[in-house]
Structure formats: structure tokens, C-alpha cells
Amino acid sequence: DTGVSQDPRHKITKRGQNVTFRCDPISEHNRLYWYRQTLGQGPEFLTYFQNEAQLEKSRLLSDRFSAERPKGSFSTLEIQRTEQGDSAMYLCASSLARSGTGISYEQYFGPGTRLTVT
Amino acid sequence: GDSVTQMEGPVTLSEEAFLTINCTYTATGYPSLFWYVQYPGEGLQLLLKATKADDKGSNKGFEATYRKETTSFHLEKGSVQVSDSAVYFCALSASNTNAGKSTFGDGTTLTVKP
């Protein structure tokens, strides 16, 4: 178990540019979550996947944001035409939803990708 | 919607002092409750959890009891150490959906001085 990894750890971009972040979950975990955290606040839910299916998206996730998990393993989060308000820490978490219950509560977080839009 | 309210920080204590960080929540049904800790430069780590009323979660000397009557999940530790300095987040995961996503409080920064 190597934990959840995220890449890059830091990204500085100019307003209007596109950026893409990657998350590698714990290998046996079938659920993957994206959160956004701004300074002084707790993480806010953005979206989640069960295997390769994206099952829920927050209203926080504007049309400029898109997430994929093509093979049910790693995931990418892309932000198009970045704005200064997108500056935040983007957190990925994974968990194991056991068959028969579907509900999993214990999430394991990666170190995050800090995005700065100038 | 669901929400979590934590006591505002920052909290500064001397080593071996008693710690309480208050957390109250609003949710439908019977959520699961969590405390996460974030050390400087690191990701969130699950500290403890409780999945039903009157459950007590405990880990590394920290404890929290799920109190449904007061909708609270206060974090306590009898004797803090300098190494406990971190940001602590209270969170819930609603039971009325299958998503398992969490709703977090804004965090409380704890600094323990020698």
C-alpha cells in the first residue's frame, strides 16, 4: 500500500491556460473523490467515481472543470481557461466500497496539488 | 444541506495540557463522523471515526464520542504534545446517500508549545 499520490504537487499557471492534475489511488480502492480546499477552509466535495463511472458532481464544478477515470484506476482533473478564483489545493481521496453495502466511509487522502493562477 | 461547525482557532496550549476542540453538525439521518488531522506539508489523515450514536472513536490518545442528542463530536486529548501541532478537521459522511463523500468543517489549528 503506497497510499494516494498526486501529481504535480505544485502548479503555477497564467490565467486562461488549461491545467491537468493526476491522482493515483490506493490500488484496490474502487472509489475516487476530488475535493478543493482554499486557505482557512475545509475541503469541499467536487466529484467522485466508482470504478470508471462518474456518479456525482457538485454544483461547484463549473463547465470548465472535467474529470475522468478511464480505466477505473488513476484519475485526471482538468481545468480549462483557468481563473484566479481557481487557485486552491486540489485533493484526491480514495476508498473501498464493499459489495453488498455500497457505502464506504473511510477515505484516504493524497498530499494535494496546489494550484496558483496568476 | 449537511454542514459541520468547528470551534474557531487558532488554539495554543502548553505541552501536557488538556485539549478540547468542539464540533457540531447538521445532517439528515445518521451520518458517520470523523476527525482528520493535517500536519504541515502533508495530506489529511484520518484520526478517528464513529459510525453510530454513542460510539467513541479513539486513536493516539485522542477521543471523540458521537452525541446524537446534541449533534456533537468533540475531540479531546488528556495531555497534548508538541508533535500534536497540526490542523484538525471534523467531517461527516451522510448515510442517506450512497456516495460516501464527506462534508468538512473549516479546521482548527492547534499549536502546542514546549
A102 to B51: CB separation less than 8 angstroms, yes or no: no
Average pLDDT, chain A: 91
- List the grid coordinates of B99: 456516495
Phi-psi region of A46 (alpha: psi -120 to 50; beta: other; left: phi over 0): alpha
A91 to B43: CB separation less than 8 angstroms, yes or no: yes
Give the pLDDT of chain B (114 residues) as one tens digit per residue. 889 999 888 999 999 999 999 999 999 888 899 999 999 888 899 999 998 899 999 999 999 999 999 999 999 999 999 999 999 999 998 765 667 788 999 999 999 999
Specify whether the CB–CB gap between A114 and A87 falls below 8 A.
no
For residue B67, what pLDDT is reported?
96
- Residue from the list B42, B49, B104 with its beta carbon closest to the beta carbon of A105: B49
Task: Summarize pLDDT for A40-90 with one digit per residue, the tens.
Answer: 889 999 999 999 999 889 988 889 999 999 988 999 999 999 999 999 999
* E runs forming strands in chain B: 3-6, 11-14, 19-21, 23-26, 32-38, 44-50, 56-59, 62-65, 75-77, 86-93, 102-104, 108-113
Minimum Cα–Cα distance from B104: chain A residue: A42
For residue A106, what pLDDT is reported?
82
